[in-house]
Amino acid sequence: MDVKTAILNRRSIRKFEQRPIAPEKLTQLVDLARFHATGGNVQPLSYAIVSKDPLRQKVFDLLAWAAYLPDYTCTKEHQPAAYIVLLRDETKTKACMYDLGAASTTIMLAAEEMGLASCVLAAFDPKKMKPVLELEDHLHPDLVIALGYAAQESKAVPFEGNIKYYRDENGNFCVPKKRLSDVLVYTDVD
């Protein structure tokens, strides 16, 4: 898969088949994340891989899904096979939003190439996540990337003034994406 296809095909998936991910794939995703761009080359992030019960279940219980759709959630029967948790070293930085974006995008695009679906989540309480992962004190969980084999479809649809994703008659997700003309406000190329 080329990078362009991975970018276009990646959509957040919130319903997964109940089959495991090969452990070496999960390790490789973190190995690739090491190479993302990072301000000042500080590299403030480290990672936790969670794929085995009961920890996998405990992480699942802390996550909130699809805030725009109050009647939808990812159910236990369709929960992710694994998680990569992005951890910020609080001794190195108070916040590193850019690094978190770069790292999570790197992981999700690499996952896409491996045939894995993903959803990055910030809707959880880090204070509850920390003891679950038994993290060293200076490591703060900022983002969780849910991973697995997709059991639903999600597609980009043209933006018509509403940014909220919705579900179609088959229950699949539709994600409004702005047009090039909506986002390209200046260009000097012909």
Ligand X SMILES: Cc1cc2nc3c(=O)[nH]c(=O)nc-3n(C[C@H](O)[C@H](O)[C@H](O)COP(=O)(O)O)c2cc1C
Report the distance separating Cα 11 and Cα 154, nearest Å.
6
Residue among 28, 43, 65, 135 that touches ligand X (CB under 6 A):
65
In the bound state with ligand X, the residue whose beta carbon lies nearer, of 51 and 154, is: 154
Taking residues 167 to 186 in sequence order and writing x for each that binds ligand X by CB under 6 A, - otherwise, the string is: --------x-----------
Q: Is 98 helix (H, G, I), strand (E, B) or coil?
A: helix
Report the distance separating Cα 69 and Cα 164, nearest Å.
9
| Ranges assigned E (strand) in the chain | 45-50, 82-89, 117-121, 139-148, 154-158, 166-167, 173-177
User: Does residue 122 touch ligand X according to CB under 6 A?
Assistant: yes
Q: Nearest distance from residue 81's CB to ligand X, in Å?
A: 16
User: Does residue 79 touch ligand X according to CB under 6 A?
Assistant: no
Interface residues toward ligand X, by CB under 6 A: 11-12, 14, 64-66, 119-123, 154, 165, 175
